[in-house]
Chains A and B, each alone.
Chain A
């Protein structure tokens, strides 16, 4: 199958996810689709598979323009996909999940034997250890991924899109998958392979397309002409509009220190220190364990070993209430809709939620005027655009919502602020504004632990950058604000660890 995408664009409120992106897939090839988090890979996959409709541009199959209204249409046209999100039904058996769209029947009833025999055929290509009668919810994450892949294979489509299929499976299963994909390719199938792991891409892909900030950075380049270094720089790119803040070296007392932290998420040996007024970056790919670490520090998840020190004293932080009121630590969640804000409540209520205790006066009553006086300066300072503070937060734009969730913690006047992905899905202007604000916060003496997958953001903001990979800190990079050297240093650190690990397991 010949699949061509021509000048496809897709916008979401506040972000241009894809901007005139092209992509071309030939019969009998495996093409890698690469890019950083948020570069637009998943959006492109979702357009090809009919989950999203493009705002502009064309999707062509064998020279014919297609207009998919739903994933069903895409499957009918011969496109199968493994998405990043799980699409399995937990209480159905493995077999039923694999054949979900076309369960075999006999006399109008489900034919259990046929289901399991049929499913078995596809599952055996990857893993003989999974029983097709097991309910999916009792499988491990890796096994679910295998089932997901088997489900896509069972469609026997001429075109297969795989969005990070190896993110959670073992080395052994990855090998089986690769052997299988190569065989399918040799039989004439077209395969798109999305992965963050360079080794895998070099091992399996024939050509590569790179996306950066929703645009093509490379279009179908042969892998044979690529080195890992130029692949990294294609993904990371050159940053044109870096905030030109001079490099700072913060030389103040340590306010937050972690010593050999362990958590139930699997973090091991996490040690770092954050100084007063410093912006300490914490970089890692999705799934590296950064947000989880932040949660453990503020007491929202258990710490199982090691210790946290605040201002030099051991701090046993058991909940966020304590983190806020006793240790003056705040955490701005990356998921502002689900964890940051109360969308059905007003701007006033959302900002004041951290300070009601302080505002309560005689008889424990909060004076409305005092509340307004406490909230207004932040609404003005952060330029939250709204007719009134009585507006429900759910009615604001993404950028303004993010400003509200930052305002809440500025109002709380914390000493240590953990900011998790502050600018995801936010327009460029607000993003620049938030960057300026984070500099200001730090200059005012607040210590900031900045979690971000956005490399330019990291380089523009952080004083030092910790690199996290697979629940461990794997290095620290000094930030001299030179984008290319810093980003290469970070990516090399991550890929070096990957490599050490694969040689260790191979040996």
Chain B
């Protein structure tokens, strides 16, 4: 029994999984509304954007960088997509790829600036975050684009029993990202650079190119999250992304990512987002003031990091 528990503890996402199971059981017991089909649908739907946001930060953490501009970049992509579709009449099939490409370009810009100037990526993305938000507000004057194509809105709200169609995107992203990091050369190189940039460079890996790749990927994922958010809301709000920053760090870190780089967990991040969705849902069901959700999220990050540290020390995997 003891060794079974120990084995379980060795798995880094064990704590989160335990929390999810306990939390679900508790909510199911306390609230009859919890296990209804509609409530599960609502939870899963809120999970979709959050997961991609978490992944967007996770890839920069993997290479040992940070992307403070995830939210600002997402907001910009959302209004550009909305503007293209509503004001310019660009068909959805072109507008969405174009908007995602713009997100990738913004990420590329972050990467190239970080690499060429040698300035810390934290500062660069802090600056570009402000710039992206500025463009966003300049275009929209804070007024959302409400006329979104019906197909997109349907994709964002339709469901198959409790399963929202929106969830197809994060499922594909999870699989691709998992494969990318564990089985492809650039994915491995990304983690190697994050693990020890000097050693990676002396092993023949181009640190600069890999850093740029990570930022570009981060931009692309944030852009995908933005499109999902537009679909989910049914309108392109300029405020999309404004509350992503904390979440973007919370998910990968609770999921076991090393802030120093080189180690992230796709599965851990996914479970962390499920846990966050569960907590938010539980607070709604318990009619807790939504403002307190922020507080709980902060406390949760601290608890998760502390738990992980305790686990690492206990199992000797530190």
Contacts and interface: CB of A to CB of B under 8 A. Distances in A.
A353 B205 contact: yes
A320 B179 contact: no
A331 B202 contact: yes
A340 interface: yes
B184 A364 contact: yes
Interface string A317-332: 0011101110000010
Contact of A364 (B185, B195, B198): B185
Given A342-B262, A364-B185, A366-B183, A325 B192 contact: no
A300 interface: yes
A339 interface: yes
B315 to A, nearest CB: 12
Interface stretch (A93-101, A143-151, A214-222, A343-351): A343-351
B204 A342 contact: no
A325 B191 contact: no
Interface in B30-61: none
A224 interface: no
A340 B183 contact: no
A333 B200 contact: no
A343 to B, nearest CB: 7
Interface residues of A, number: 31
A481 interface: no
Contacts of B215: none
Contact of A342 (B179, B185, B196, B317): B196
B192 A320 contact: no
Interface string B187-220: 0110110011011111111100000000000000
Nearest to A342: B195
A300 B76 CA distance: 39
A313 interface: no
B188 A366 contact: yes
A356 interface: yes
A195 interface: no
B8 to A, nearest CB: 18
A478 interface: no
B195 A344 contact: yes
Contacts of A360: 184-185
Contact of A353 (B183, B200, B258, B317): B200
A358 to B, nearest CB: 9
Contacts of B200: 342, 353
Interface string A358-387: 001000111010000000000000000000
B196 A343 contact: yes
Interface string A279-310: 00000000000000000001010000000000
Contacts of A338: 196, 198-199
A365 B179 CA distance: 8
B311 interface: no
Contacts of A408: 203
B192 A366 contact: no
Interface string B157-188: 00000000000000000000001000111001
Given A342-B192, A342-B195, A321 B206 contact: yes
Nearest to A339: B198
A1 interface: no
Nearest to A343: B196
B204 A349 contact: no
Interface residues of B, number: 23
B204 A365 contact: no
Interface in A386-441: 392, 408, 412
B292 to A, nearest CB: 36
B184 A366 contact: yes
Contact of B262 (A324, A345, A356, A364): A345
Contacts of B202: 298, 300, 320, 331, 333, 339-340
B60 to A, nearest CB: 17
Contacts of B258: 344
A319 B262 contact: no
B185 A340 contact: no
A301 to B, nearest CB: 11
Contacts of A353: 188, 192, 200, 203, 205
A344 B263 contact: yes
A365 B185 CA distance: 7
A341 B203 CA distance: 9
Interface string B284-318: 00000000000000000000000000000000010
B188 to A, nearest CB: 5
A354 interface: yes
Contacts of B196: 338-339, 341-344
Contacts of A345: 191-192, 195, 262
5 contacts: A300-B202, A338-B199, A345-B262, A353-B205, A412-B204
Interface of A: 298, 300, 319-321, 323-325, 331, 333, 338-345, 349, 353-354, 356-357, 360, 364-366, 368, 392, 408, 412
**Leading 3 A-B pairs by shortest Cβ distance:** A324-B204, A342-B195, A342-B196
